[in-house]
Amino acid sequence: MSTATSENASRSHDLRRAFSVYPTGVMALAGVVDGRPVGMAVNSFTSISLDPALVAVSAAKTSRTWPVLSALPELGMSVLANTQEPLSRLLSSRDAEDRFAHHVWNTSAGGAVLLEGAALWLTCRPYNTVDAGDHVIGLYEILDVTVFEDVEPLLFHQSRYRAIQTDDTRD
């Protein structure tokens, strides 16, 4: 391995470790393609604007699922619950077959797929995309929101799935 390649690999490893310090939720992106649900999990998600209501998601350019999802007129975004780690692992796998076989999901009139048991549903339409290094940032306009207040979200922190630990002694 050349020195430049070795340095890049080392820097990439260091950056992954550094970025893992910041906890994130886990978001399922899904839509209907040829009558079947297609989806993937991302943990790079953020609110962008209230007016218009916009969110952003980031996907690796190497993803085989992202080009399919980003071309859809509507996309469902489901914040996975702390009980949905197996679903997150399935949606994160390279094997796209039967990702939804054992999970209940709903479809909007526009083809957005929303997963039962999630903490939040967003039905969105594409707004813009931004090329960002080895990723693509998709900006989406929110069309509909459903919050499930009693459902705790799944977290991803230091390359591990986690759940919120409540501390009733804090205000």
Is the predicted pLDDT of residue 3 greater than 70, yes or no?
A: no
Tokens read off for 29 = 């992106």
pLDDT digits (tens, 9 = 90+) for 5-30: 556 656 777 777 776 665 667 899 99
- Comparing CA positions, the residue from 40, 46, 44 lying closest to residue 89 is 40
pLDDT score of 1? 46
**109-121 mean pLDDT:** 97
pLDDT digits (tens, 9 = 90+) for 36-62: 999 999 988 999 999 999 999 999 999
What is the C-alpha to C-alpha distance for residues 25 and 118, in angstroms, rounded to an integer?
12
- Helix then strand count (H, E) for the chain reads 3, 12
Mean pLDDT, the chain, rounded, equals 87
Contact 121, 77 (CB under 8 A): yes
Q: What is the pTM for the complete model shown?
A: 0.85
Kindly list the structural domains of the chain, giving each domain's residue range(s) and its CATH number in brackets, ordered by start. Answer: 24-163 (2.30.110.10)
% of the chain beyond a pLDDT of 90: 62
